[in-house]
Amino acid sequence: MPHADASLVPETITTKTAFWEHVHEQLAALIDGQRNWACIPFPSTGITVSNLANASSLIFNALAAFPAHFGQDPHQAVNWCFYLDQSHFPVARLSATPTAHEKTQSSNRQLLLGPFSGKPACQFINTTPGRARGVCADAFLKRETVLVEDVNAYPGHIACDGETKSEIVCPLILHTDSGSVPLGVLDLDCLRLAGFDGDDRKGLEKIVALLVEACDW
């Protein structure tokens, strides 16, 4: 099957539960045997692989192909993206001595924009204790999914898109022998009030768990 066909949604799928099960199945097949979460060049082949980039494209296009609940209707379409803890991004440096800017950056914890689909998104989300705000920061720091039916009623909401009406953010949590480590979040914005519900939460949490398990962090 061509890779692009993974985002097709059969007409027989009419419920959110069935939709997310289908997306999970397609994603599992798409990233099978690939362990890279981001674009990493392999010296021997020059090939780049990115599980999060493919997941981004798959979910975005599958949502657009599911008019029963989302689709391409401008009143209920979805934008979405990954935000990842800054520690997962390499920093290119010309000097062995940290600059003043780098020292400031190291004291400010941030989620940086990762692979995404849709309209342009915020470059970073502040997660520094005492200064963090917004749905993404809350989900990351609390290590639990946050579902918001009306973003305008959410304290500290950050509006990357002024047309967004509702939002759901699922944290990526890596469980190790020494404890759990928050890696980042999966953020979906809908242009409709109460665009997400418990079925979306269950489906997305299962997809996030698959991605965390499938990647080498």
Q: Is 172 helix (H, G, I), strand (E, B) or coil?
A: strand
Residue ranges of the domains in the chain? Answer: 3-214
C-beta of residue 122 within 8 angstroms of C-beta of residue 112? no
CB 26 within 8 A of CB 7: yes
Superfamily covering domain 3-214: GAF domain (3.30.450.40)
Predicted confidence pLDDT, tens digits, the chain (217 residues): 546 677 789 999 999 999 999 999 999 999 887 765 555 554 444 333 488 888 999 999 999 999 999 998 888 888 877 888 888 765 554 445 555 444 444 557 899 998 888 888 889 999 998 888 899 999 999 999 999 999 999 998 888 788 899 999 999 999 989 999 999 999 999 999 999 999 999 999 999 999 999 888 8
Q: Which two tokens stand for residue 76?
A: 């209920």
pTM score of the predicted model: 0.84
Hey, is 99 helix, strand or coil?
coil
Q: What is the pLDDT of residue 104?
A: 46
